[in-house]
Amino acid sequence: MNVHVEAASLEAASHLNLSSILDSQRAAFLRDGAPSYEARIANLAKLRKAILAHRKDIEAAIHADFGNRSAYETALMEIMPIVGGIDYLRKHLRGWMRPKARHVALQFRPGTAKILTQPLGVIGIVAPWNYPASLSLIPLATALAAGNRAMIKPSEYTPRTSAFLASLVGGIFSADEVAVVTGGPEVGAAFSELAFDHLLFTGSTSIGRSVMQAASKNLVPVTLELGGKSPVIVDQGFDAAKAAKSIVFGKLSNAGQTCIAPDYALVHETDLDVFVAAFTAAARNAYPAGTSDDAYGSVISQRHYDRLVGLVADAREKGAKIIEIGAAPGATRPRTIAPTLILGATPEMKVMQEEIFGPILPVLPYRASEETIARVNAGPRPLALYVFSDKQQVIDDILARTTSGNVTVNDTLLHCAVDDLPFGGIGASGMGAYHGEEGFRAFSHSKGVFTQSKWNLTGTVRAPFGRVADLLLAALLR
């Protein structure tokens, strides 16, 4: 593939011809109709083969965009979910595509009813920078499984990955099947205003509002995958080492730049010191060389780095205790922040007001489990919630009395990796869901079809009305 030529041509197209690309895809969709099961399976197979063939290229591009990101982390948290998601779609697609019979009330029999599942047409996908491959290609695979065409706008913060995705996709599909358009915020704004049949946006809540407003101009339905402050509740007496190991994984993977990363931890006041010690030990064990460790990621940009440094400085100035773990003196790697615990965080601190999106974890004490539920419910509904407890009653109580996008019990992040679970937020953390069958349904139209029988009774309750209509109504309206 000629990455530079393909990427340059698509970038020009993104500025000048967004509408023409959409028009071309829609015309092709109307001309060719819904693709067959066999065609959809073939598209998924081509995508899977290309991803595996270019795994190292994807890992290298992402590493270059971040400044440092472990190839293992990219393989585990991007390549594997894409391949696993495609395999899941291929396994279940035939059943999802089958017409579904529906019940017909007695008065309409012997007519029949069914649901036909049809592709919507052209899906727009706005992907973020934090997982630039998986958050572009998992939605694409889902759109293709549902029989659609797609346009993808990846993030300008990951230009090398975006260029490679444009080349990768361009080597598999024609532009009227799938197109990747690159560019900055102005291209993203124009992209969001296109008259797609559905638009999926993954990113911040603030930009999500703008995307939804732009999409509303054409009444485009949207799926918004946003973020928020996802809490971790550690029940009193739970094994601190076990909880800390899982929370370190969830918080420090990709240097905390994960929409479902734990944003703050609620720990019983009697367990606070033990938890801090356990988290410190787990972080040092995971990254023995601290901020110089090859497996420890960098922050995507100077702007995001400065924001995170500012959150810590604000908390320190307002009286919080700051614990940095594994900071390497004299480290030369740019934009790298040590795992940081914040103790004594208060509501007026910025770190408790904004989604952190970095390797910084406020740890808040509580006295009674009731306080944890009240604290979660006092804020916007989070994208994810994590509960560590050995007591089923505690777990059930939290699940019943809080509302969040999804939950992982006694671990972190893994609900997102379970292919058969929908993924999505609620309220400020998002709208709609994809992954699994829910993703297929989100990118499909369920068309209800009623077929009238040659012999039927419905004509007896149409004008002019008479004795038969009286008898039928009397029987039905008892």
pLDDT of 222-247, one tens digit each? 999 999 999 999 999 999 999 999 99
The rounded distance, in Å, linking the Cα atoms of 233 and 318 is: 25
The rounded distance, in Å, linking the Cα atoms of 129 and 160 is: 11
Which pLDDT score, from 0 to 100, does residue 8 have? Answer: 44
Which pLDDT score, from 0 to 100, does residue 331 have? Answer: 63
Model pLDDT for residues 450-461, shown as the tens digit of each residue: 999 988 878 777
Nearest to 403 by CA among 429, 366, 421: 429
Asked if residue 110 has a cis previous peptide bond (ω within 30° of 0), the answer is yes
Tell me the β-bridge partners of 450. Answer: 113
Is the confidence at residue 462, as pLDDT, over 70?
yes
Phi, psi of 115 (to 5 degrees): -110, 125
Q: Residue 44, SS3?
A: helix
Q: Is 438 part of the annotated catalytic residue set?
A: no
Q: Is 177 part of the annotated catalytic residue set?
A: no
Cβ(156)–Cβ(185) under 8 Å?
Answer: yes
Is the confidence at residue 464, as pLDDT, over 80?
yes
Phi, psi of 233 (to 5 degrees): -110, 120
What average pLDDT does the structure give for the chain? 94
Residue in 11, 193, 225, 355 annotated catalytic: 225
What is the mean pLDDT of the segment spanning 116-120?
98
What is the mean pLDDT of the segment spanning 239-268?
98
Is the confidence at residue 328, as pLDDT, over 80?
no
Which pLDDT score, from 0 to 100, does residue 19 have? Answer: 94
Cβ(374)–Cβ(402) under 8 Å?
Answer: no
The rounded distance, in Å, linking the Cα atoms of 132 and 155 is: 7
What is the mean pLDDT of the segment spanning 440-469?
90
Residue 288 is given by DSSP the state: T
Phi, psi of 399 (to 5 degrees): -60, -40
DSSP 107-121: GGTT-EEEEEEEE-S
What is the mean pLDDT of the segment spanning 366-387?
96
| More confident of the two residues 371 and 3 | 371
The rounded distance, in Å, linking the Cα atoms of 283 and 104 is: 60
Phi, psi of 212 (to 5 degrees): -65, -40
DSSP 145-182: HTT-EEEEE--TT-HHHHHHHHHHHHTTS-TTTEEE--
Model pLDDT for residues 34-93, shown as the tens digit of each residue: 999 999 999 999 999 999 999 999 999 999 999 999 999 999 999 999 999 999 999 999
Contacts of 119 (CB under 8 A, 6+ apart): 29, 34, 35, 146, 147, 148, 443, 444, 445
The rounded distance, in Å, linking the Cα atoms of 144 and 196 is: 15
Residue in 259, 355, 416, 438 annotated catalytic: 259
Among 5-14, 63-72, 180-189, 400-409, where is mean pLDDT lowest? 5-14
Is the confidence at residue 443, as pLDDT, over 60?
yes
The type of residue at 327 is A
